[in-house]
Structures are given as C-alpha cells and as structure tokens.
Structure 1
Amino acid sequence: MVLPPLSLYIHIPWCVQKCPYCDFNSHGQQGELPQQEYVDALLKDLDADLHYVQNRPLHSIFIGGGTPSLFDAAQIARLLAGIRQRIDFAADIEITMEANPGTLEHDDFAAYRQAGITRLSIGVQSFSSDKLNLLGRIHNRNEAEVAAQHAKEAGYQSFNLDLMHGLPDQDLAQAMADIDTAAALMPPHLSWYQLTIEPNTLFHSRPPQLPDDEALWEIYREGQRRLTALGYQQYEISAYAKPGYQCRHNLNYWQFGDYLGLGCGAHGKITLAAERRIIRTVKIKHPRGYLAAIDFTDNSFDVETDDVPLEYLMNRLRLMSPIPMVEFEQRTGLSRDCIQDGMEKGRQRGLVIISEDHWELTDKGHFFVNDLLSQFC
C-alpha cells in the first residue's frame, strides 16, 4: 500500500434557494450568512484532521456546495491563507470553486482569482429559459454567457461549465443546442450529465415528465459525438476536457486518492498505509450544529477489507482510461489476484479486456459498468 496524493474538499452549504432536483446537503439562505464564523469553524475542523496529512502537500482543493460564490472573496482568501499556514501546497496546486451565474457580481471573478482560486466551475445546467425555470435556477441565459466570458477574461487556468441533459420534455435538438452554446463560450472543461430523480427532492415527490429511455440514449450518443467533434475528450462518464484540462481534483477521487473533507456533512477518505487501513470520515451535517461544535473530534470508520475492491472499482470505473494493475495494488494494499476472477467473468461477457498489466473496459463495458461491479459485491 502506497500513500496516494492528498486533496481537500470544502463544503459551503448555503444557496439562494434549493433546486427541486438537488439532493446535496444545501440550505436556502435566510438572512446574512455567517461567513467569518464559518471560515473559523472550517479552519478549526482542519486542525482536527491534520494528523491525516502524513507529510503530503495538497494536490488540489475543491470548494463546493451549496453555492460557495455566496461568500465574498475576502473570506475565501482568508480561508485559503489559513489552509496554507497548516499544509504545504503543491507547486501546481489546482484550486476550484463552484459558482452560479445568478449569485455572482461578475466583477468579482478577478477578486476570487486574486484570493487564490485557480479554476472555476460554473453551474449553467441549460441555456434554455424554459428549462432553467423548470430546474428552479435563478439565472438566465445571458447571465450564464456573461459569467463564462468574465471567467475567460479574469485569467483563470481553467474553467468548467456544468450542463445537464435528459431535462423535462427535452428533445435531441434542444440538448444539442445547449452543447453548441456552451462550446461557443470556449470552456476548457465541460461536465455533461444526465438529470436523475433522487429521493428527498421536490422532483421525487412531484416527478416531471422526462424523456423516455430511447430518447435519452439518442441524446447521450449524439452528445458524445458532438463533443468529440468539438475537440473535447471524454475522460470520465460525465466529464469532457480539451487536452491538458482534465479536473485534477476529480481525477484524484476516481483514482482512489485521498481527500480531507471539511464543512457541513463533508466526507473524506484517508489511507493509513503503515496500518494497512483505509478510513472514511464524515462531518456534522447541519450548519447550526457544525457552527456550535466545541471541537471536531473525528467521526471515522474503517472500510472493511472485503469491501475495498468494490469501493476502488466503483470509483475507478468512472474513468475511460485503462486500470494499471499496480495502481490497484498500491491504492488498496491487496493483490490483483483478488479481483481477477471477476474481471475474467467480465472478459467472457465482452465487458473487459485483460492484458499483462492492465484491465480496460470495452465500449460495451462502459455502458454496463453496474453489471461488471455485480461480480464484486
């Protein structure tokens, strides 16, 4: 077992309003946000987790939510400065912040850049006014386009646009129009993922009319072709990037790297190589309880050895790239032999190609990942 790269996820849980499809730990803003108090709590939370760093520099930071762009640039700068005082930053660290077009004064993009953010992820979801209204978004098409333009002008190393497909009553032409509009804004990275109806959401209790399976399949395959023709490489199930602009933070997740989780309900995953253990951590979920915490005593649990192969594969099979067998061994501390039988069954069904030192999904395998994972349950 080898210590993998270390990332940091920071959760800021407030939004202007809760979207009807969202099952994330987010809360509608009520009054003034406790920005200073929350940053203080985040740094206190980090102090309790410093023993998990194990002399590693931070590979990446991702500030998600909620809507982190509700916090002003001065508080983001204070947060990042406090982290840097506690943990070394890799020379090429990637620091991403999520932002929604409807919550940003676009002149502040440069201020977030000055605060230390190197990459933005902008939650557009669609450029159709009708679809944005159905999704409960508070921005319009023009605000989304202006946000992307200002992100380009502010000097970020990269920025991402989030797009959804399979929206209520969406047809193929509408889905492709969203891709074309996004690509015209020249983002180095596009996240393009299907809307799913999750429990404990408004859409779950009042389901909208979504495209049928045949229409969804047509949208997905045509979207793949369109994005490839536009110069984007699919490197993950729902992520496309121009060469050299893959999201390093998300790659570390999917390659079973380590990450600290700070903030309300944040999860973390840590390797304790000397003890041959992998643990997961989870933080106090509700903002009121999190802010009231006297200390941040760790709430952690071990990943059982029998569960490690499945956990690794559930992450790693999201990527389009082959899996080096040595990576499996280094990240799990287990022999490659423990999953060879399952991989061989996948090979016999045309889902996997097995070489001397790699496993690789076939085209068919990418569409039947759950079938392959069932071999390891």
Structure 2
Amino acid sequence: MLTTPPLSLYVHVPWCVRKCPYCDFNSHEGRGELPFAAYVDALLADLDHDLPLVWGRVVHSVFFGGGTPSLMPPEFIDRFLQGASSRLRMAPGCEITLETNPGTAEHGRFGGYRAAGVNRLSFGIQSFDDGCLKRLGRIHDAAQADAAVKLAQDAGFDNFNLDLMYALPGQTLAMAERDLERAFALQPTHVSHYQLTLEPNTVFAARPPAGIPAEDDSWDMQEHCQAMLAAAGYGQYEVSAYAQPERQCAHNLNYWKYGDYLGIGAGAHAKITLGSEQDILRRWKLKHPTAYLAHAGTDAAIGGDERITLQRRPFEFMLNALRLVDGFSLTRFEASTGLPRAQIGAQLAQAEANGWLAIEADLVRPTELGRRFTNDVVALFLGD
C-alpha cells in the first residue's frame, strides 16, 4: 500500500538582480519596482487552489527559493507566512528557510525575517575569492559575503547554510581549500559543497569559460575538501550536503526521502501522494512571472499535471534516495512507491554485484564506489 509521507511547502520567488551565467533555475532579472504585494496575493491564491490536495496534513518545513527570495522585503514574507499558517497546519518548530544573496543583504532585514518566522537561512556564497566570483557573474564580493553572514548572526540567526562551489574557472586546489577555511570561520551549521556543472540552456553551456579544472583536478578538490569538512565536524549526509550534528536540512531531506511537497509560485513544482487514490501527482506552475501573476489561483496557472506510473516510481525514488549517504530501507521503498521490494530485486542484485550498493537485511546503502557512479546506479531502475 502507498502511504502518505511527510509534507513540505516550497515557495518560489522568481526575481534576481542579475542572471548568473551558470544558473538553470527559473529566475528572471528584476527591472524597476517589483510587484511583491501582488505576488504575495498570487501566492496565497495559488495555495488556496491547491489546498484540496493536502487537506488536514501537517507541514514540516517551508523553503523560500529562487531567484533571490531576499529581494522580497520582510513585511511580505511575514504576510505570506501569516496567510499560510491560517490555511495549513504547521508542525511545532517547523523549519522555515530563506535563500539569500549576500549582494542583497541590508541592515535590519534579517531581524525582520526572523520576526516573520524565518528560522534558517541559506547564503549563496559560491566562493570567497573575488576573482572566482567575478568569473561566475556574482553581484557580491567576499567582503560582502562576510558582512551579510555577520548581520544575520547579529539578528539572532544561529542556523544557516553556506553554498560553496568548486572546480570553478581559474580555481586551484589551494583556492578551494581557502574557500572552506573562510567558511569555517563564520561557523555555519550546514555547508552545501558542489561542483560547477555546465547545465543546458545556460550562458556557460553555450560559451564555456576558460580555465575550468580538468576532471582529475576536480576530483582532487572534492577529496581534499571532503576531508576538511569531516575534520571540521561537518558530517556528509548527501552527495553535496554536510552538516553539524542534528543540523541537517529537514526540507531537502524530505526531497531525498521521496517525501511530498506542495509547490507554489512561478515555475514551482509539487509532488503529492494521493493516498485514497493510491496515486502520486506531480504538478508545476507557469514559469514566467507575468503569466503566473495573471492566472494564479486558477487552473490556467498550472503548467502541467502528471500521474507517476507504477513503472516510473522505482526510478524516481532512487533518483532521490541514492543521494543519501545512509541510503534507504526497503520498507520505506514499499511505503513510498506502493510497490513490493521484489519489483526491484534484479536491479538491486546487479548493483550489489557491481560493488555500487551494500545491502544488509532491510537497509540499502550506496558504497563509496556507488557514490562516484550515482547516475549509473540510478539508471538501472529506469525500466522499459
């Protein structure tokens, strides 16, 4: 039987100051005064429209992503959270994360976000090297990154993530190590550390920058940085995620455990388990802010609906679960997909024979080799 997993809420804020050349997210350069008041109205209308999908369920985390959500003044975050709380059951201690760009941090804003109910921040630092930041097209420099984090700490935030990238154009191993040393000095509870990739439909994909490290050099950076993170007390729990004890990101963990999430905002995606129908629904909203604002709260704002077939569920589950260092239980696979474990028996046996997975009783865990070849492991579950 398909059972109902935990539920999260994702809120997309689509505007940014400038589109980064490596970014493939649904983000749009803001020009002039942005319509935040109208956008909050649209978000609440969007939420009202989708509420029947999740009646009575408890929300365990909220995540404001983008774009650059910290462009939105605190009073609008506050109005949205008040409206959402009147419509949804929020769990006690619900994790509420706001992504922020150091180039948009202003004195007093973090205090306003905290008063609104935000209790976790995620800073898009990427690097503490000004040359690397310039080559990435970022709007901030290292000094602004330091200052933004300290402003947040002064406002009372003690739970925050720093996003860092490695294998950047012109970056050496020593530079990647210095980035982590600068990060550790700020005492984040969580570090997201991931390799620059040239995503399709980005400026970098069309015109790759010079000086991207070779594959062997990138692997050296990853290994050295992983050792530094471990020595500093940050446990790796996902391919790119490291946290101090008990400080893992609850919202992202829910994604990786194939949990449910309601997605509102321009281009937002949702995955909802419909227990009474023994079905899983994916839904996404119109991507362009203008179109979304015009239709939010109506069927016309839905970019698409898709029911996940029984054949596709193993692949979707593995695409997320195999990113976790600790893997998953076969019991959870059955509950999350509504399929018997025998359905994936042959694929598990093949992955174990390849040295990609370690299987012990109910637990399936990727090996170190398996973590290096995650895409190959997941591909085994694609089906026909």
Normalising by structure 2, we get a TM-score of 0.96
Alignment match of 2:332 (pick from 289, 311, 327) = 327
- Written as runs of structure 1 = structure 2, the 5 A alignment for 1:84-95 is 84-95=85-96
2:144 pairs with 1:119: no
Q: Is the Cα contact below 8 Å between 2:321 and 2:327 reproduced in 1?
A: no
- Written as runs of structure 1 = structure 2, the 5 A alignment for 1:263-342 is 263-293=265-295, 295-297=297-299, 298=302, 299-342=304-347
Cα shift at 1:295: 3.8
Cα shift at 1:294: 6.2
- Written as runs of structure 1 = structure 2, the 5 A alignment for 1:255-266 is 255-266=257-268
- Written as runs of structure 1 = structure 2, the 5 A alignment for 1:1-377 is 1-209=2-210, 210-293=212-295, 295-297=297-299, 298=302, 299-377=304-382
| Whole-angstrom CA distance in 2 between matches of 1:106 and 1:195 | 31
Code of the residue aligned with 2:53 in structure 1: it is Y
SS of 1:306's equivalent?
A: coil
Q: Is the Cα contact below 8 Å between 1:94 and 1:119 reproduced in 2?
A: yes
Cα-to-partner distance string for 1:270-302 (whole Å, 9 max, x where unaligned): 001121101100001101101111642254110
SS of 1:261's equivalent?
A: strand
Cα-to-partner distance string for 1:26-56 (whole Å, 9 max, x where unaligned): 1111000000000000000000100111311
SS of 2:108's equivalent?
A: helix
Q: Is the Cα contact below 8 Å between 1:148 and 1:187 reproduced in 2?
A: no
Code of the residue aligned with 1:323 in structure 2: it is F
Cα shift at 1:141: 0.7
Cα shift at 1:191: 0.6
Cα shift at 1:154: 1.9
Q: Give the stretch that moved more between structures: 48-57 or 252-261.
A: 48-57
Which blocks of at least 5 consecutive residues in structure 2 are unaligned? none
| Whole-angstrom CA distance in 1 between matches of 2:272 and 2:101 | 30
Code of the residue aligned with 1:350 in structure 2: it is G
SS of 2:380's equivalent?
A: helix
| Whole-angstrom CA distance in 2 between matches of 1:216 and 1:294 | 43
Normalising by structure 1, we get a TM-score of 0.98
Which blocks of at least 5 consecutive residues in structure 1 are unaligned? none
**Between the two proteins, what is the percent identity of the paired residues?**
49
| Whole-angstrom CA distance in 1 between matches of 2:68 and 2:329 | 36
Cα shift at 1:152: 2.1
Cα shift at 1:374: 2.1
